[in-house]
Chain A
């Protein structure tokens, strides 16, 4: 579904590449967890999929057609990128909800890509759009909160709003940039369970950055590991052993996870 070809990113004023020459094919149904130390390029990688980060060289293709290369900054290509983004829902570490708006209002902003600017501006939504928003809010378990302002919610609830906003796009791809890094372990588990459930029900391609190897091994169907911007592992979670862990993080794992064989 998504082909990443020779993808490299170099930030201005940095001598080393944040991502160097990544080649990958990601398929519908993959639940991909991206592992790596801070600064390994995980975030850059995810942000390259929907063009929040424009690559320095290489390209990303969706269904065999190029959807991102270094020229997708402005003009007709930027407009093409905008249309591609509508098919990719994204959730963030800091949730990135719009403050002072309610849960329902935040979720409705997920439909913005498909609607005219005028309708967005005056806030006119069709019955189907409202029904869809209510449906996804129910799916993430926030029906009773839909009128509340998002800043009054807990971290876990905020991320549920983030997920609902992504789902209302009716995406084919779901991206997560450290979606549970600011949540406690229990809540992280709930969020991952919800993500996996949606992933399976909607037949998505899900790509998530995560620090917690425990979560990655439990939920992923495929693990990708990056180190210093280079792809060093790509395979099923069973093959990500202590050795790969050491290669990825440069230290021994602290938990007894590998021995336990979950």
Chain B
């Protein structure tokens, strides 16, 4: 019993209690799987796949990719300057730092789907409100991540830039950006992947793209199309995953 202390037992007991409570709340019950035959019946309706709508599906997939890309790129571009206000070491004043920090966590705390539902009322159905929703959430996320990178950046080059007599913001920009750039890009690719999954969900509420097609096909019992939608989504996610890790490795 060298590895275990008494306090470990308490931890385990507390953990077990939480697991039990969570199972009760989520109606977690493995015996329910005795009806798994239904699932097989259901899945059998997915095949054979219906390829007749493939061109439209590919078009919708491109729309989903464009939504995710635009939402995360705009989010990054807007968040970059804000991050310098939200970092303790580069903020022009303590008050501005606090306000920006609070603003960012406020934006971040609102899920994309809520943004989407609100924007639908003014912008109507379609991918545009989805892009804006993804962008807003990403401003919050990038603002936090990048301001933390700025705070962790080596202060040495910043001092050197001040010492040559550069203006403060030029000094910060040039001494910090080259240091954090690889990390910023790596975060961007991760958020881009997340945005693809988000734009699928936003499709369910009328945001367009392959997500909306999947939802519509499902609701109209077009299961032979649903299967192809799912396949296309899987292929897209795998390709993006692969590309992102390739680019990330090249940069870092």
Residues of A within 8 A of B (CB): 50, 52, 82-86, 88-90, 92, 94-101, 109-114, 117, 120-121, 162, 165-166, 169, 175
The number of chain B residues touching the other chain, given as a range, is 20 to 34
Q: Which listed residue (A85, A94, A97) contacts B165, Cβ 8 A? A: A85
Report the separation of the CA atoms of residues A112 and B161 in the bound assembly, to the nearest whole angstrom: 8
B175-221 residues with Cβ-Cβ distance < 8 A to A are 175, 178-179, 181
Q: Is the Cβ of A109 less than 8 Å from the Cβ of B164?
A: yes
Report the separation of the CA atoms of residues A121 and B173 in the bound assembly, to the nearest whole angstrom: 9
- Nearest Cβ distance between residue B179 and chain A, in whole angstroms? 6
With a cutoff of 8 Å between Cβ atoms, the chain A residues found around residue B159 in the complex are 52, 92, 96
Given known pairs A94-B156, A96-B157, the reply for A52 and B162 (CB within 8 Å) is yes
Report the separation of the CA atoms of residues A98 and B159 in the bound assembly, to the nearest whole angstrom: 11
Closest to A118 in B: B170
Q: Is the Cβ of B165 less than 8 Å from the Cβ of A86?
A: yes
Q: Is the Cβ of A169 less than 8 Å from the Cβ of B165?
A: yes
Q: Which listed residue (A85, A94, A111) contacts B162, Cβ 8 A? A: A85
Interface contacts beyond A89-B164, A99-B179, A100-B181: sample of 17 additional A-B pairs, CB < 8 Å, sorted by A: A50-B163, A82-B165, A82-B166, A85-B163, A92-B159, A96-B159, A99-B157, A99-B178, A110-B164, A112-B164, A112-B166, A113-B164, A117-B167, A117-B169, A117-B170, A120-B174, A169-B165
Closest to B165 in A: A113
Q: Which listed residue (B156, B170, B178) contacts A120, Cβ 8 A? A: B170
Interface of B is mostly: helix
Report the separation of the CA atoms of residues A162 and B159 in the bound assembly, to the nearest whole angstrom: 13
- Nearest Cβ distance between residue A132 and chain B, in whole angstroms? 14
Q: Is the Cβ of B165 less than 8 Å from the Cβ of A112?
A: yes
Q: Which 5 A-B pairs have the closest CB atoms?
A: A113-B165, A86-B165, A96-B160, A96-B156, A112-B166
- Nearest Cβ distance between residue B165 and chain A, in whole angstroms? 3
With a cutoff of 8 Å between Cβ atoms, the chain A residues found around residue B165 in the complex are 82-86, 112-114, 169
- Nearest Cβ distance between residue A114 and chain B, in whole angstroms? 8
Report the separation of the CA atoms of residues A100 and B175 in the bound assembly, to the nearest whole angstrom: 10
Report the separation of the CA atoms of residues A45 and B179 in the bound assembly, to the nearest whole angstrom: 29
Report the separation of the CA atoms of residues A219 and B28 in the bound assembly, to the nearest whole angstrom: 79
With a cutoff of 8 Å between Cβ atoms, the chain B residues found around residue A84 in the complex are 165
With a cutoff of 8 Å between Cβ atoms, the chain A residues found around residue B156 in the complex are 92, 94-96
Closest to A84 in B: B165
- Nearest Cβ distance between residue B248 and chain A, in whole angstroms? 16
Q: Is the Cβ of A109 less than 8 Å from the Cβ of B162?
A: no
Residues of B within 8 A of A (CB): 156-157, 159-167, 169-171, 173-175, 178-179, 181
Closest to B162 in A: A52
- Nearest Cβ distance between residue A78 and chain B, in whole angstroms? 8
Report the separation of the CA atoms of residues A147 and B174 in the bound assembly, to the nearest whole angstrom: 18
With a cutoff of 8 Å between Cβ atoms, the chain B residues found around residue A110 in the complex are 164
Q: Is the Cβ of B166 less than 8 Å from the Cβ of A109?
A: yes
Q: Is the Cβ of B160 less than 8 Å from the Cβ of A97?
A: yes
Q: List 11 A-B contacts (CB under 8 A).
A: A52-B163, A82-B165, A86-B165, A89-B164, A92-B160, A110-B164, A111-B164, A113-B165, A117-B167, A165-B160, A169-B165
Closest to A120 in B: B170
With a cutoff of 8 Å between Cβ atoms, the chain B residues found around residue A90 in the complex are 160, 163-164
Q: Is the Cβ of A112 less than 8 Å from the Cβ of B160?
A: no
Q: Is the Cβ of B162 less than 8 Å from the Cβ of A98?
A: no
Q: Which listed residue (B163, B169, B178) contacts A98, Cβ 8 A? A: B178
Report the separation of the CA atoms of residues A86 and B174 in the bound assembly, to the nearest whole angstrom: 17
Q: Is the Cβ of A98 less than 8 Å from the Cβ of B175?
A: yes
Q: Is the Cβ of A82 less than 8 Å from the Cβ of B167?
A: yes
With a cutoff of 8 Å between Cβ atoms, the chain B residues found around residue A100 in the complex are 178-179, 181
Q: Is the Cβ of B163 less than 8 Å from the Cβ of A112?
A: no
Q: Is the Cβ of B179 less than 8 Å from the Cβ of A109?
A: no
Report the separation of the CA atoms of residues A110 and B163 in the bound assembly, to the nearest whole angstrom: 9
Closest to B173 in A: A121
